[in-house]
A and B are shown apart, each in its own frame.
Chain A
C-alpha cells in the first residue's frame, strides 16, 4: 500500500471512530442533562452514573424483532435507514483537523480530502440526507410516516437556502472554498463568530432545522404524528435513523466550528512546536471539544423551547432567516471590498 493510501485510511478511521462514539455518548447526555435541568436523576441503574445504559440499549435494539409492515414497499423500506448513514459518514471527509504536517517522513495535510471545492462537497453530500426521510415515509405505507417525510423534506429544502447563504458569507473573507483556508484566515485574525455574528446566528438556527431537532422536530412530532417518518421502524433499523441523526448533528456542528470558531485552532496557543502526530491528535481533540460544546447546546435548547407550529417554521425560514442571511451576505461583501475584513 502506498503511503498516501495509509494516510487517508488512518484519517478516515480517526473520524469514523469518533463519530461512532457520538451516538452512545449523546444518548447518555440527552437523558442525564435534562434530568439535571429538571431536578430528576435520570437513568442511573446500569453502570456508574448510568454510563452503560447506551450498551443496554444497543443490546435491546439488536435483539428486538425486525418487522416489515405487510403494505410496505419492501426494497425501499430496507434501503431508507441505510441511506440515513450516507451523509453522516461521508461529509467529514473535507473537514480539516490540523495544518499540513510531517508524519514518519511523509508530508500530509490533516484533512482526508484536501479539495478546492471542499465546502461544496460537504453541502452536496449533506443534501442527500433527505432521500432517507422521504423514502422511509413513503415506503412505510402509513399516513403518519408520509406526512412526517413530506414535512421533513419541505423543511430541509427551505432551511438549506439560509444555511448555504451563511456558509457563502463565511467563505468570502477567506477567498477560498477550501475549508483549510477558512481556518487559516481565522488563525491570523478574529474568529468569524465575532466578525459575522448575524451569519452565525442564522447558521445555528438553520442547523437545528436541518437536523430535525427541537424546536423544529415537526417531521417526528410525537403528539401528532406518532413518530413521523420512522413510525414503522423498529430494532436496528430504527437505531440507524437514530445514529444517522446524531452523526449528522456532529458533522454539521464540526462545519459550524470550522466556519465560525476557528476549527482545530485555539487562540494564543501554538501547536507547531510539537511533532506531526501530536499536532494531528491535538487538532482533532480541539475540534471534538468544540463540537462537544455545540452538541450540548443542541440538547440544552431541546429541553428549553417548545415546538414550533408548521406555518411558523416556514415563516421563520423564508421570511426571517433568508433575508437576514442576505443582509449578512451584502454586508460581508461590502466590508471585504472596502478592505475592512
Chain B
C-alpha cells in the first residue's frame, strides 16, 4: 500500500515537472524542473529494486550534468526580453501528432506484452552492486573500455577547441 502511494506521488511529480520543463519560458526554471523529474525517476528506480541505479542517476545527472546545464544558461544570461516568444504554431501541431503516435505505439506494446511473457522477478542478488560490477568488468569489459576511451577523446577535443581561440595571447599565464 505504501509502495503504491509512493509510486503515485513520484510518478505524478515526474510527469508534472516534465511538462514544466517543456512549457516554461524561463530556461532556469526548466532546468530546475528537470532536476525534479530526474529525482522522481530515481525514486521510481528504488521502488523497482535498484538503489544503485537510482543513486547513480542522482550523482551523475542531477549532481553533475544538470549543474553544467545551469552553468551555461547562467553564463549566457538570457534576459527577460530575449526569451523565446513561444512555440511556432507548426511546431505545436507537429509535437502533438508526434506525442500521440508515440503514446499509441507504447500503449499497443504494453497491451500486447501484458501477460504474454512471464518475466522472472528481480532478486536483490541480481541487481546487487557486486553482480553489476562483475558483469561490467567481465562480459561487458570491451564496451566499457571503449566508452572510457571515447570520453577521453571527447575531453581532449573539447579542451583543444577551447584553447584554439586564445592561443599565443596568455601563454605565460598558468591556468
Binding site for B on A (CB under 8 A): 73, 75-76, 115-117, 120-121, 123-125, 127-128, 130-131, 134-135, 137-138, 146, 149-150, 153, 157, 177, 311, 314-315
B35 within 8 A of A: yes
CB distance from A105 to the nearest CB of B (A): 24
Binding site for A on B (CB under 8 A): 26, 28-29, 32, 35, 51-52, 55-56, 58-59, 62-64, 67-68, 70-71, 74-75, 128-129, 173-175
Q: Is B74 a contact of A134 with CB atoms below 8 Å?
A: yes
Can you give 16 contacting A-B residue pairs, CB < 8 Å? A73-B28, A76-B32, A117-B55, A121-B51, A121-B55, A127-B59, A127-B62, A128-B58, A130-B63, A134-B70, A134-B71, A135-B32, A138-B70, A138-B74, A177-B129, A311-B175
Q: Is B75 a contact of A150 with CB atoms below 8 Å?
A: yes
CB distance from A255 to the nearest CB of B (A): 15
User: Given the complex of chains A and B, what is the CA–CA distance between A153 and B67 in angstroms?
Assistant: 8
Given contacts A125-B58, A127-B59, contact A311 B173 (CB under 8 A): yes
User: Given the complex of chains A and B, what is the CA–CA distance between A157 and B56 in angstroms?
Assistant: 16
A-side binding surface: helix, strand, loop or mixed? helix
Q: Which residue of A lies closest to B66 (CB)?
A: A131
User: Given the complex of chains A and B, what is the CA–CA distance between A310 and B129 in angstroms?
Assistant: 39
User: Given the complex of chains A and B, what is the CA–CA distance between A243 and B62 in angstroms?
Assistant: 23
Known: A127-B59, A150-B75, A311-B175. 10 other contacts (CB 8 A): A116-B129, A123-B63, A124-B56, A124-B59, A124-B62, A125-B58, A127-B58, A134-B67, A135-B28, A157-B68
Q: Which residues of B contact A116 (CB under 8 A)?
A: 51, 128-129
Q: Is B75 a contact of A157 with CB atoms below 8 Å?
A: no
Q: Is A146 a contact of B175 with CB atoms below 8 Å?
A: no
Q: Is A127 a contact of B173 with CB atoms below 8 Å?
A: no
Given contacts A73-B28, A150-B74, A153-B67, contact A124 B58 (CB under 8 A): yes
CB distance from A159 to the nearest CB of B (A): 13
B63's partner among A115, A127, A314, A315 (CB-CB below 8 A) is A127
Q: Which residue of A lies closest to B75 (CB)?
A: A150
Q: Which residues of A contact B74 (CB under 8 A)?
A: 134, 137-138, 146, 149-150
Q: Is A315 a contact of B174 with CB atoms below 8 Å?
A: yes
